[in-house]
Amino acid sequence: MTLQFSTFAYTGPNGGSDIPVANLALTAARPPVGTSGQALDTVGGPTFPPTTLLPATLDVPRKILQTQPLFGIGTDEQDVDIALTVPALTRAGT
């Protein structure tokens, strides 16, 4: 599974500007929790890929879960932390 976001586009009456997507970063990812289906396997997965270094901006796809063939069949959950850096003097909008 991968995560990727796009620019936070400003809309509103205050003349604000967009917040660049590079200001959003994945800062932590917990191990997945199996909720139904095939049991989790420490080798076969799903696991958090060791090649994803944190923190990682989300302007490009970042892999957060991976499995080996024939693993990961079912429903799993994973908690991730993200941080958004809002530039100083950013105007209110939606």
pLDDT confidence bin for 38, thresholds 50/70/90: very high
Going by C-beta distance under 8 Å and a sequence separation of 6 or more, which residues neighbour residue 58?
3, 4, 5, 21, 24, 25, 26, 82
* 53 occurs within a structural domain: yes
pLDDT confidence bin for 28, thresholds 50/70/90: very high
* 19 occurs within a structural domain: yes
* 91 occurs within a structural domain: no
Mean of pLDDT values over 38-59:
89
* 64 occurs within a structural domain: yes
* 46 occurs within a structural domain: yes
Structural domains of the chain, count? 1
pLDDT of 23 above 90: yes
pLDDT for the residue numbered 71? 93
Range of the domain at 8: 1-86
Which residue shows structure tokens 């590079």?
22
* 71 occurs within a structural domain: yes
Mean of pLDDT values over 84-91:
89
* 79 occurs within a structural domain: yes
- CA 53, 56, 60, 66 torsion-angle sign: positive
Per the structure block, which two tokens stand in for 21? Answer: 């997507």
